[in-house]
Each structure stands twice: as structure tokens, then as C-alpha cells.
Amino acid sequence: MKNTIKNIILIISAFTVLSLSSCSDYLNTEPTTETTVESTGKVIATAAEAESRMTSVYASFGGEYWQLDYFFNGDAQTDNAYAGSDNTQNFQQDEYRILSTNTNVSRDWGYIYDNINKCNFILNYIDEPKDLPAARKEEMIGEASLVRALNLFHAVQLWGDVPIATKAVVNVNQDNFEEVYPQLYPTRKPKQEVYAAIIADCETAIQKAPASTNKFRANKGAANALLAKVYATKDNPDWAKVKQYSDAVITGAYTLLPNYENLFDTAHEGNSESIWEANGEGWGSPVGAWGTSMFYGTDWKKFMTPSNDLIQTFTNEGDVVRKKSSVIVKEVSWTDNYWTSAGYPFAYKMRITDGKQNFYILRLADIILLKAEALAQTGDNAGAMTLVNQVRARVGLPKVSAASQGDALDLILKERKMELAFEGHRWFDLKRTAKAIEILSKQKDDKGAILPYAGNLNQDRLLWPIPQTKKDANPNLIQNPGY
């Protein structure tokens, strides 16, 4: 099989010139070459080309994964939201019956590894331009390392064992085929190795990325925050490390905004609570924030419709402030199984439809609650509740206390549900805390009946299938159990 692939790929490389920065087939089949490489002998010839490569890295936050699928995956697969709209691929996700042919799953694999590949071009070839100042080169290494770590972190949470891509393949020939083959046709690496690679990239970012004040770029504070989440998520969480890296954030130059609504009103971009945010600067900018219109507006039935369960949670808790910022109710021209046309809810945190909507990749409240979890996991329930109550005080809710470790962890998980709704966290939180099946199998409609698809979720369905298109193109990829 390998010799057959070798012959095919050498024939392709002899007759095909593909764009280096467009790699929808990366980790599938073809190598890539570029005419500028042929003319200059360099992948990145100048500082200007290096900056252009870096712009393309940040432009990935304007792509379909980060604008749409990240939020849908994180919330519509949970008790926070229903699928909404009319896309059968999304219904599969919402109802825990994804097929390996699901096109959303396939495109997310493609987007994530394309984003990683863009980072690899910088990390592999940043030494080439002689006019790039040394300090800027080091910053670029830190930025690209952290963006690569972020994308790989999403991959390992979605699929479990995944390939670790560290090389951008520029060309393939008879002499280098054995070297590039593992990059073109990779195997899935055990999660332990994947997390080690993520941690190494984050550590590089702590050393080299821009200062924490650069909230629209991958920065040192974001590297600390991502490491806290990584150490909490890996199979054997390291709670001491979670506390260490959470503290590096909490004791840094961040504070909770006094007014929760200011987080999402677009008048407070790059605020004191923001650790790292994608910067929507309008149409034509690298991150033209088109994703807002996928969730908000009455012109068609949108994706990620707020659930009865989430709204009931806000109501039961008396959480008027976060409910108002998270959900808006409109009159629409349609009905569905869950809501009437007279009072139809929309996710409201992303609400600006002129392409200028920013969204958070990491913010302080997330890390405060993550540290609370680490404290509860190590026996300090009182300390955990102090942090939870700090977050609750911002929205005018009374203090809570925990009678046991289990009680503390449940309270933290509920607080994260209300604080971070529609920010793409819930699915990953439920999996990380081993609560997904317990909670999602009991989802109810507005009449108190268990949702008909709630029982579809099982241990195998906590991971996505390897996309069939990727598996067909790469014989080295092994499918996840249950698919």
C-alpha cells in the first residue's frame, strides 16, 4: 500500500502545483509546492511574507470552525441548546447519532488541521527571512505555537487520539518521500502524547508570545490560561498545575468587569476580563465576523436555539442578569417542537451583524471557576465556593456553600453553565467532569418529558467518528469505537 501511495503521490507532485496556504486536503493526499519557493528557494523569503503568513493564522478565526461550529459543538450538543435551523448534519450532532459521513465533522477536521498547518509554515520556516527582526521572530514563534496548541486541544477533545502535525510539507520527491510520508499519511497518536505536544507549545508561548496586554493576539496570559484548561482536561488531571496556571492568570492584570452585559455589548472590546479574543473588524478584515447571523436574527430559523432547560436554570436561580445577556426572545414566522412563534428565543451573546463582533477565546471568569474546580478536587470546598461567589456577586446572586466535594463540583458546573452559556464550553465541561451521560440523558422539554433522543448518548458517542472521507484517503487512520 505504501509503495502504491508513493507512486501516486510522485505522479501528482510532478504535474500539480497547489497553494501552500490552502490545505483542505492536508493529512489526506497531496503534498504542496509553490512557485515562489521555486523562484527564491525559500518558503518565507521576507519579513513581509512572514507577516502575511501570521495574518493568515489569525484569519483562521474568521473561518467556519471558529465562527460557527465551535459554538454549535460546545452548546447545541448539550442541555444549553437545540440544533435549530433545518440542517440534518446538525440534527445528528444534537441527537447523538452522528455518522462518520457527517459533513460537519469532516469539515471541522479539515479546518482544525488547516489551521495547524498555517502555524507550521511559520514554525518551520521563520528562520528564512533575513530582514525579520529577531524579537519579532521570537514573538511569531510564540504566537504560532499557541494557536497550534489551541487547535490541537480542540482536536483531542473531539476525537481522542489524533495525529500530531508539526511539519508543513512543501514538496515531495523520490528523495524525501520516506521523510514526509508520516506527515502526509499520519497515524493517530495516543492522547497522552497529544497533550504533551500541546503543553510544550504552550510553554513555548509563555516564553516567547507577546505580553498579556495584546488581547487580540496569542499572548502569554492566554498561554497560562490554556495550560490550566489542558491540565484539567487530560485523562489524569494535574490539579496542582491547574491551580498554578490559574493563579498566573488570576494574579495577573485581569479583573472581572463589574457589569456582565459589558462583556458582549461591543463597546468594551479588549476589556480587563478578556484574556484572548478574536477581533472582528468588519467585512474585508481577516476576521469578518459573519458567524453572528448564524445564531441571531428573525429572517430564518437560526442554529443553536436556547433550550427550555437553560432558560429554566436561569429562572430557578433568579439569574436575571446573565439570562438577559445570553437569551433574547422575538416573534418569528415559524414554530418548532420546543417554542412558539410568539416567543422564540435566540442566543444573544453574539449579536452584532456588521462583521465587527468580537468573541472570547479565553476570559477570566472561566479561569476563576476552573481554579474553583481544582480547589474542590483537592479538598478545599470553602476556597472553591469563595471563587464561585466572586463570580455570582458580579450578577447580584446570593452566596452558596457546599456540604461536600460532590456538592461543590455540582455547584461549580452549574455556575459555568450560566456564566459561559453560548461561548462554546458546555460540551467540553460535561465530558471533562464525566457528567455528560448522567446529565444529558435526562434532558427534558418544557412539559417535563425526557427528550426522545436523550438516551442516544453513550460512552462511544462522547467522541466523534474519524471522518470517513479522511479515513478513506489515509489508510493509517483507525476509526473510533462505535462507528
Q: What is the per-residue DSSP string for 243-264?
A: HHHHHHHHTSS----SSGGGGT
Cell numbers standing for residue 44 = 518565507
For residue 181, what pLDDT is reported? 87
pLDDT: which is higher, 61 or 180: 61
Per-residue pLDDT, averaged over 297-322, amounts to 97
Rounded to whole angstroms, the Cα distance separating 250 from 273 reads: 10
- pLDDT category at 4 given cuts 50, 70, 90 is low
Question: Residue 215 maps to which CATH number?
Answer: 1.25.40.390
* Gyration radius from the chain CA atoms: 23
For residue 26, what pLDDT is reported? 41
- Is residue 355 domain-resident? no
- Is residue 196 domain-resident? yes
- Is residue 477 domain-resident? no
pLDDT in tens, 20-77: 333 334 454 333 444 456 556 799 999 999 999 999 999 999 999 999 999 999 999 9
- Is residue 152 domain-resident? yes
Contact 375, 244 (CB under 8 A): no
- Is residue 22 domain-resident? yes
pLDDT in tens, 275-285: 999 999 999 89
pLDDT in tens, 439-462: 999 999 989 999 999 999 999 999
Whether 150 shows a pLDDT value over 90: the answer reads yes
For residue 173, what pLDDT is reported? 79
Which has the closest alpha carbon to 283: 296, 292, 295, 270?
Answer: 292
Rounded to whole angstroms, the Cα distance separating 27 from 114 reads: 9
Rounded to whole angstroms, the Cα distance separating 215 from 279 reads: 9
For residue 180, what pLDDT is reported? 85
For residue 374, what pLDDT is reported? 98
For residue 141, what pLDDT is reported? 98
**Against a cut of 0.85, is the pTM above it?**
yes
Cell numbers standing for residue 354 = 456588521
pLDDT in tens, 208-254: 999 999 999 999 999 999 999 999 999 999 999 999 999 999 999 99
Domain, as residue range, for 65: 2-349+360-463
Q: How many CB atoms lie within 10 A of CB 176?
A: 13
* Residue count (the chain): 483
Contact 168, 132 (CB under 8 A): no
Number of independent structural domains in the chain: 1
- Is residue 479 domain-resident? no
Dihedral angle over CA of 235, 237, 242, 243, nearest 10: 170
For residue 1, what pLDDT is reported? 59
For residue 33, what pLDDT is reported? 40
Contact 54, 140 (CB under 8 A): yes
For residue 54, what pLDDT is reported? 98
- The vertex-25 CA angle with 423 and 54, nearest 5°, equals 60
For residue 176, what pLDDT is reported? 80
- Is residue 482 domain-resident? no
Roughly what angle, to the nearest 10 degrees, separates helices 220-233 and 191-208? 160
Contact 346, 306 (CB under 8 A): yes
For residue 17, what pLDDT is reported? 33
- pLDDT category at 433 given cuts 50, 70, 90 is very high
- Is residue 354 domain-resident? no
